[in-house]
Amino acid sequence: MPSNRINRVNEDIRLCLSKLITEVKDPRVQQGLLSVVRTETTGDLKYCKVYLSCMGLQSEKDFMKGLKSASGWLRRELSIRLNLRNTPELTFILDKSIEYGAHINSIINSLDIKEDEDEEADEN
């Protein structure tokens, strides 16, 4: 179980990266609505997994290539903004949970559900 310090570092990295990713000039990264869902940093602060969610993604392969090419710049900016002994190496993982949730929500909203007669009798 991660310690409180690691939890604080994870939250700081998540907040900084959410601001920094919007500043990336690479057009492959600027596709749709992008959000940093969560981060997982190892105990020695050497590696960090960054889970990203993107609505309206045109090309997943290009998006991941753009993030990989911008990871050096993101890591440098992260080291400037956060005062850590080691700045973790960033690994990006695409998280499709928000997109999946929106899809399920649209399916539920499209259902034609009629109220039961028993519920109407209880109300009267």
Residue 119 confidence (pLDDT) above 80: no
118, part of any domain: no
Closest CA to 21 of 44, 45, 51, 47: 51
First and final CA of the chain: distance in angstroms? 53
pLDDT > 70: what percent of the chain?
91
Separation CA 81–CA 51 (nearest Å): 20
102, part of any domain: no
11, part of any domain: yes
pLDDT in tens, 91-111: 999 988 877 888 899 999 888
Strands 47-55 and 89-94 turn out to be: parallel
110, part of any domain: no
Domain range enclosing 15: 4-97
pLDDT in tens, 22-48: 888 888 888 778 889 999 999 888 999
Q: In what order do the strands lie in the sheet with 89-94?
A: 33-41, 47-55, 89-94
The total number of structural domains that make up the chain:
1
CATH number, position 31: 3.30.300.20
